[in-house]
Amino acid sequence: MMEKGGKVSDVSMEKVSRNGDTPDLRSVLTNTTCHGVKHIAEQDSHIFRKITKAAEYNLFDFLENYYSSDKAQANEAVLQHMTILNETDTSVFIRDAAHQLEDSIYRCTWAEQPCDLKNDFETTSSDLGVCYTYMKENTVTAPGIGIKHRLLLDNIEAYYHLLGSRNALSLVLNLEQYEYMKGPHDDAGVKVLLHDPDEVALMGDLGFVLAPGTHTMIIQAFVTAHFIQRSSLPAPYGLCHEDIRFRSNCLLECQIQKWIEEFKCVDVHMQNSCGNCTVCGMEELHTNRLKKLSGDCDCPVPCTRTMYDPRLSYAQISRNNIERLAKGSSQETSELKTKFHSAREVQERVVKVKADANEERIISLLKVVSEIQGAVKEGMSYLNSSSALANHIQIGNIFTEDANLFLSTLKAISQAYTSQRAILNIYKDILYLYEDRLAL
């Protein structure tokens, strides 16, 4: 999406899962990233969406029981597992547990040109988790023109040549629902927020959610809003400030200051805005989130701001297109299939219902194999014994005698038929005379 003032607006995406209210403790403990995993101790979020990482950290049973029991029972195990997680660097844990950009974006184009995932996207942390922000450079090649144009307001020709869906950001996303596991919410999707490149993305409060299995077109209109209400006029007529561009940035700075004063560390999504601040450990995040910070943040509204007003249009993805993507033979498709099978294998091992069923099948199979092995072993033992050898020799002799008797009988029968033919040949002339009488 392009900003009218010459910038390409940031697009922050996050996988979300919402299904009503949840207890405070779960809201504090459970988090998800932009692509399915909210980080630990983030309010109103999901602790794990990647089943493979939950298994790797030996947390699957804990999470399974946590979301299958009531709050009182779950509280007893919280600090124990938070201590286990605290042995891992918070930022590293969140980054590793998040769904990776290259796994979640199956295809990306800007103005029908392939994206460079490493350079066009930036990994950021928001109040709702880890996000991937699209940061395309301001200079692009306009199709049909053949030269580079700066997207400036006074370059009307270049600006209008770059309008339309063909010249927009196009993404084919893999939600990796095979990595989902039990949690406080049941829905799946991608959360998208269009915002100024310099503005803090309030993913928890703003943005819109895209449903899986749909083709969504986002039409962006740009509105520069000049507040003319009394409360938005500059002093001495109102309370807005000319030197404030984004109120969200001010709120984040205020929150950072309060966390440093109160806890001597900051939340994960604050670290990029506070320099060399220390990020709280897992157990600290859990404890700090339960505390209510005193005082409000005095952040005035800006006198002028740019508002993004997206319009959404949905269509169901064609079954033919889904089958074509699933049967693709590209390297990306092969890697996704490998990761899909890996996640399913982990799921078969750690999900209790499936694990119990698999264990029952394996036990039954092993029992059959054991019986076969026992029968084979008993047979081999019998064949190797001296009595078995004598029995086989005796049986062989019986077969030999029977064969000789059969051959003798067959020889006698053959001789009888030969004698019969000889007698008929001798008396055939006599028998010919009595042919008519014999016929009667």
Backbone angles phi, psi at 236, to 5 degrees: -90, 10
| Residue 142 to residue 158: CA distance in whole angstroms | 7
C-beta atoms surrounding 62 within 10 Å = 19
List the pLDDT tens digit at each of the 440 positions of the chain. 333 333 334 444 444 443 444 333 333 333 333 333 233 333 333 334 565 555 555 555 555 555 554 444 444 444 444 445 555 677 777 777 777 888 888 888 888 888 888 888 888 888 777 888 887 654 443 333 332 333 333 434 444 456 677 778 888 888 877 777 666 566 788 888 888 888 888 888 888 888 888 888 877 655 444 433 334 555 555 567 777 788 888 888 888 888 888 888 988 888 878 878 888 887 787 788 778 777 788 888 888 777 777 888 888 887 777 667 666 666 666 676 777 666 666 666 555 666 666 677 777 788 888 888 888 887 777 667 666 667 777 787 888 887 878 888 888 888 787 777 777 777 666 666 665 554 44
